Amino acid sequence: MADRPKNPLLLAIASPAGRAFLALLLVLILGTIFNGDGAFFKIGTHRDTLRQASVYGILACGMTMVIISGGIDLAVGSLLALTAVCCAKMAIHWNWSGWLVVPLCLLVGGTCGAISGAATSWLRIQPFIATLSMMVFARGLAKYASGGMKVSTAIANPDGTYHYVDVPPLFRFVDNRILSGNVSVVTIIFIVCIAFAWVLMTKHRWGRYLYAIGGNEEAARFSGVPVIAVKTMAYIFSGMFAAVAGICQAAQEQQGDPEAGVGYELMAIAMVVIGGTSLMGGRGGIGLTLLGVLTIGYLDKILSINAVPEAGRLMLTGAIIVVAVLTQRRKRA
């Protein structure tokens, strides 16, 4: 466009955040029209929407960092399954305290992230390939660690019968609700993740380096940015966020399912992109991702409360994502 609008309101709408907000607003308006016999106006529906979107949203936090660095992380869905299995094994079968289980799960996720990160930044394997390998590997590891079975509160005896143990306190705590039942704890965990990512990316030097690398990696290297360390760190954070999501998943299912999280990485990428963060790297932010998470989360819920058949759901979701991304397209002056 030759001349930019001077009106402050138009400027706000034209900004990436403004556009992402507009997309969310449109989805919410759709919800008030197709409200599923009034279900959309019940507070429980919104609590459930946020609960359901939280696991994806936690993955999207790490995904935002990696995408801004100019990469992509396809491994998060598999890492979610791996940590869910580890978490269930430690908390249910071995009866370990949550204070031990959570750090160990973060360690598992962080280690896998460090391997993907080192492979991309140090060994210079393309992020798509490096994290694709980790996605396949971690899925295998999850199946190996679980013995191919769901890790649940039914524990096999040597003679083939089963004995049962209680759902561990860690799971009860995470799958709880607070504020007189109006907010799920997983939603609070998601908000904490968003806040943590926001501080890192906007208040810490690491965040500035991340944008610099995503914008122009060579230039960043010549300006003395420790490229390898900063990029690897992004994948480590992504792995740790995947671990948090895995713990939330295990707690909500009351089991560790090695098949969990298939396709979640694509959902997380869609949430980041729909918020307005560029897949080319260097542009975007965690606030935009929050809007993207809400947009897709609400879209999903509105289709669900209207009992739209699966075929229609997939087509509508695809169509709405492309429309939202089109409105996000930055017009160069």
Partner 1 sequence: MLLAMATTIALISGCKKSEEKQFVIGMSQCNLGEPWRAQMNADIAAAAAKHPELKVIFKDAQNDTLQQRAQVEEFAGSKVDLIIISPKEAQPLTEPVAHAIEAGIPVIVLDRRLLGTNYTCFIGADNKKIGKAAGEWIAKALGGHGNIVELMGLQTSTPGQDRHSGFMEGIAGTDIKIIFSADMQWLEPNARQEMESALSRSDKIDLVYAHNDDGAHGAYLAAKAAGREKQMKFVGIDALPQEGVVYVQQGILNATFQYPTGGAEAIDTALKILHGESVPQEITLNTRLFTPETVTQGGAEVK
- Contact between 143 and partner 1 per CB under 8 A: yes
The least distance separating partner 1 from the CB of residue 309, rounded to whole angstroms, comes to 7
The residue range among 62-70, 111-119, 159-167, 217-225 that interacts with partner 1, by the rule CB under 8 A, is 159-167
In the stretch 70-109, what mask flags binding to partner 1 with x, by CB under 8 A?
A: ----------------------------------------
The residue range among 23-31, 86-94, 146-154, 194-202 that interacts with partner 1, by the rule CB under 8 A, is 146-154
In the stretch 251-290, what mask flags binding to partner 1 with x, by CB under 8 A?
A: -xxx--x-xx------------------------------
DSSP per-residue letters across 280-295 = TSS---HHHHHHHHHH
The least distance separating partner 1 from the CB of residue 47, rounded to whole angstroms, comes to 9
CB 31 within 8 A of CB 40: yes
- Contact between 154 and partner 1 per CB under 8 A: yes
Rounded Cα gap, residues 143 and 81, in angstroms: 9
Which of positions 36-65 make contact with partner 1 (CB under 8 A)? 36-37, 39, 42, 44-45, 48, 52
- Contact between 307 and partner 1 per CB under 8 A: yes
Which DSSP helix (H) or strand (E) runs through 169?
helix 169-174
Measured from the CB atom, is 103 or 318 closer to partner 1?
Answer: 318
The residue whose two tokens read 């907010």 is: 183
- Contact between 152 and partner 1 per CB under 8 A: yes
Rounded Cα gap, residues 195 and 202, in angstroms: 10
Q: Measure CA 283 to chain center.
A: 18
CA neighbor of 239 nearest in space, from 154, 102, 115: 115
Measured from the CB atom, is 190 or 237 closer to partner 1?
Answer: 190
- Contact between 304 and partner 1 per CB under 8 A: yes
Burial class (CB in 10 A: 0-12, 13-18, 19+), 4: exposed
The least distance separating partner 1 from the CB of residue 48, rounded to whole angstroms, comes to 4
Burial class (CB in 10 A: 0-12, 13-18, 19+), 112: buried
- Contact between 150 and partner 1 per CB under 8 A: yes
Q: How far apart, in Å, are the Cα atoms of 62 and each of 37, 73, 103, 109, 223?
A: 37, 9, 17, 11, 25
Give me the half-sphere count of Cα atoms (radius 13 Å) on the Cβ side of residue 10: 5
- Contact between 309 and partner 1 per CB under 8 A: yes
Residues that bind partner 1 (CB under 8 A): 36-37, 39, 42, 44-45, 48, 52, 143, 148-150, 152-154, 156, 160, 162, 164, 175, 177, 249, 252-254, 257, 259-260, 300-301, 304-305, 307, 309-310
